[in-house]
């Protein structure tokens, strides 16, 4: 049976097992597991790791349309038109995105980020829940910027049926390797 690990990747950790700075090796002492997908160094949240190449491909490959839900703190307060634009798909330099599920949410009850997000008295911030079914490089950040609301903090909360529920930053647990 395939091994599947759910990991809450802290801010500023590389999603690889070697390199300069903090890496997965600083948190996960399990041999022969590899990330299924990626999460930027400046993003936080759910990262799946597995020892099964087929499962890894099924999780990471956009053709399987496994949804990924992000909690996104943005600069400004998106209006209905901006949210509708995200829902219909945004045109980026590498082409249009698939439609997303996008909604304004109350600030989630998350752990503090270290270092904290920059706060500006003159510019409000707000939170979105954004669910996408593809995974281009820095896609969520580029999507929110394209509609005029740059991302300040990005936390991947869910991939398919797997979520961060109950995992603090830097913690991991084994999960059932089922199709998400």
How far apart are alpha carbons 180 and 169 in whole angstroms?
A: 22
**Annotated catalytic residue 109:** no
Q: How many CB atoms lie within 10 A of CB 18?
A: 8
Catalytic residue among 32, 40, 125, 174: 40
Cα–Cα distance, 167 to 171 (Å, whole number):
6
How far apart (Å, rounded) are the C-alpha atoms in residues 68 and 106? Answer: 19
Rounded Cα gap, residues 41 and 101, in angstroms:
24
Q: What is the DSSP letter of 87?
A: H
Q: Are 86 and 143 contacting, i.e. CB atoms less than 8 angstroms apart?
A: yes
Could you tell me the CA-to-CA distances from 35 to 53, 56, 59, 177 in Å, in that order? Answer: 10, 7, 10, 14
Q: Which residue has the tokens 């996960």?
A: 28
As annotated, the active-site residues are: 40
């Amino acid at each position: 049976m395939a091994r599947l690990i759910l990991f809450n990747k802290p801010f500023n950790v590389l999603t690889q097992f070697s390199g300069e700075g903090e890496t997965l090796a600083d948190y996960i002492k399990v041999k022969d597991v590899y990330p299924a997908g990626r999460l930027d160094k400046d993003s936080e949240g759910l990262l799946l790791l597995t020892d099964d190449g087929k499962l890894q491909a099924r999780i990471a490959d956009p053709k399987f349309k496994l949804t990924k839900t992000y909690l996104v703190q943005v600069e400004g307060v998106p209006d209905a038109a901006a949210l509708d634009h995200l829902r219909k798909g945004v045109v980026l330099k590498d082409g249009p995105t698939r439609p997303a599920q996008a909604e304004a949410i109350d600030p989630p009850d998350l752990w503090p980020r270290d270092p904290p997000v920059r706060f500006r008295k003159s510019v409000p911030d707000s939170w979105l829940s954004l669910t996408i079914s593809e995974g281009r490089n820095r896609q969520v950040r580029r999507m929110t910027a394209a509609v005029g609301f740059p991302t300040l903090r990005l936390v991947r909360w869910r991939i398919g049926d797997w979520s961060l529920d109950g995992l603090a930053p830097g913690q991991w647990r084994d999960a059932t390797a089922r199709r998400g």
